[in-house]
Amino acid sequence: MAKVSVEFEVVGDELHLIYHPRDDDSWVHSKFNRQEELFIKGTYHLTRANFAKSYLDEIDARSEVEGGELFWMDDCAIRFTVATAVGDYFVFDPDILRVGLPILIARDAKPTWKWFSAEAKTSILSVAAKLMPSRIVIGGGAPDAIPVKEYERLIQQFPTGYELKRYVIARVGAVLRQYTDASVDGELMLRQYVAKRIKTKSANYVQLFRDAEIAKFEFLYSRLNEMLSSEDSYTEHVWQDQILDVVRLLNSKYIAAFKSVPLKDVGNTIDKQLDILLVDATGNADVIEIKQPFRKCVMTESLYRGNHIPLRELTGSIMQIEKYIFHLCRWGTAGETYLTKKYGDRLPPGLQIKITNPCGIVIMGRDHEMTDVQRRDFEVFRRQNKNIVDVITYDDLLRRLQVVIQQFKAGR
């Protein structure tokens, strides 16, 4: 095995860089005699002033043997002091790495040349310094320290010379393939190579919160079941508040819900009032109608020309939602300004309410006692309106909660 040209060794309170020059060490000393620095692997800037004391002693001994003349050695290891101990860390001489910020390595770490230099004579720490941290600490117990295992994983994933060539081919290929008959997909080749090389595994964030999520959705399922079993004991106001909580916890994109919202009827002297306005995390507004079920089905039991048709309460609710959306869109930017000013103190700072093709949601009725034919006709009707209004029954909510719970419990 070929000997590496750069090694590191801890000697007391010093970290030494041991350099094995090609052929002999005469050319190194010639550089220093000309007041030139030794630049190794595109990373280390070394001068005679960085010689370790042990190497200076070796030079003196070699000179004494030759009567004051330094003789050259074919296999000479030149030692440089590159870092000194401060507490639990070795702190690098800033003139050696020249990355513009402090570099610290834990005293118990075992650095290799690969910690500092990529194959293409690139200083890895110089690349890291471009991200402008206040310092780079590797290993040890400092709060801003990069764990040694994580740093070594970074080193393993640093682009190789072959990967950089693939990247160039991919960039050129992205243009040529649009205008020529080039058959090689350089981008695909790059992705395949990187996928084989990079071993990073995705973190399972779901697992961290699985138990809490199961408890949350089981509570909502139990609570909704309890409400549906005694729906007559709730006022409309309380019922709406409870169902809104279920909707927002089941669909986390909505961050706020405002009730009894003034709605400008452009061209009319009498304004309207919107029951509930939902606002999502981007500020976009949607409209929701929540009706108590009162054990009513949403489709007729009898047939009209061979079909079950929606009950008047359902079609009326959809019509009401569509009118709200119509008036919101006509209100436009003036409405956005008004609503943001009115409800801004109940929204995250700087979030603007936006009226951009609002969607509607209607929650009403039960479907657990529907026949298969009723269920099919209801689905046909529901999908006809889905582009504007999403009709959700309370049994839909129960089923959605059940599916979510089952998925979490299955560990998926």
**pLDDT band at residue 296 under the 50/70/90 scheme:** low
Q: Please report, as a single letter, which amino acid is at residue 281.
A: A
Is the separation of the CB atoms in 99 and 129 below 8 Å?
yes
Burial class (CB in 10 A: 0-12, 13-18, 19+), 7: middle
- Does the pLDDT value for residue 246 go beyond 60? yes
pLDDT digits (tens, 9 = 90+) for 39-64: 988 899 999 999 999 888 887 777 66
CB atoms within 10 A of CB 211: 10
What integer is the mean pLDDT of 150-173?
77
Least confident of 54-58, 269-273, 317-321, 403-407: 269-273
What do you get for the CA distance between the two ends of the chain, in Å?
Answer: 47
- Does the pLDDT value for residue 87 go beyond 80? yes
Burial class (CB in 10 A: 0-12, 13-18, 19+), 321: buried
Secondary structure element (H or E) that encloses residue 79, with its range:
strand 78-86
User: What pTM did the predictor assign?
Assistant: 0.53
Q: Please report, as a single letter, which amino acid is at residue 16.
A: H
Residue 358: predicted pLDDT: 93
Q: Which of 118-127, 160-169, 350-359 has the highest mean pLDDT?
A: 350-359
In Å, how far from its chain's centre is CA 285?
26
Residue 267 DSSP class? T
- Does the pLDDT value for residue 168 go beyond 80? no
Could you identify the residue written with the tokens 């529901």?
Answer: 382
Least confident of 184-193, 218-227, 376-385: 184-193
**pLDDT band at residue 196 under the 50/70/90 scheme:** confident
Residue 126 to residues 40, 47, 184, 278, Cα–Cα distance (Å): 14, 20, 34, 49
